[in-house]
Amino acid sequence: MVILVRIIGWVVVVAGLVFVVNPDELKKYVSFCSKGERPHLMGITRLCLGVILLAASSECRWPVIVWSFGVLSLVKSLLIFALGIDKVRAILNWWGKRPSDVIRLLGAIALALGVLLIYSA
């Protein structure tokens, strides 16, 4: 299970790097995620990630951090389902319209959090 946590951490690191280097990729991501029933797929994915992180937290070096990421992922998944597709699309579109500097900052934060998750595993 710890390997899964590290894989999730590396995915977050790569996504953070992509958004730091090329903020326009966020707009492509938002466009992709907003179509059809993909917001529900995002919710299911976050739900699965949360369950994996919670299940693996007891085996990790810093279980509280991994557990916290798991809880946050579960909360995000529940919010996606509670808000509904239209509101989730509106939120995604709002994020897609942020200035490049804001997207780079968020990418840097994601990068740091991914490294923390890798180190915690």
Q: Write the pLDDT tens digit of every residue in 86-102.
A: 899 999 889 888 999 99
Query: Which residues are CB-contacts of 14 (< 8 A; sequence separation ≥ 6)?
Result: 114
How much of the chain exceeds pLDDT 90, in percent? 75
Q: How many domains does the chain have?
A: 1
> Which residue in 5, 8, 15 sits closest to 106, CA to CA?
15
Determine the Cα–Cα distance for residues 78 and 73; give it in Å rounded to an integer. 9
pLDDT at 104: 94
> Does position 50 have pLDDT exceeding 90, yes or no?
yes
Q: What is the pTM of this model?
A: 0.86
Query: CB count, 10 Å around CB of 32?
Result: 10
Q: For tokens 């590290």, name the residue.
A: 6
- What is the tens place of the pLDDT at every residue in 58-70? 999 999 999 999 9
Which range of residues forms the domain containing residue 115? 2-120
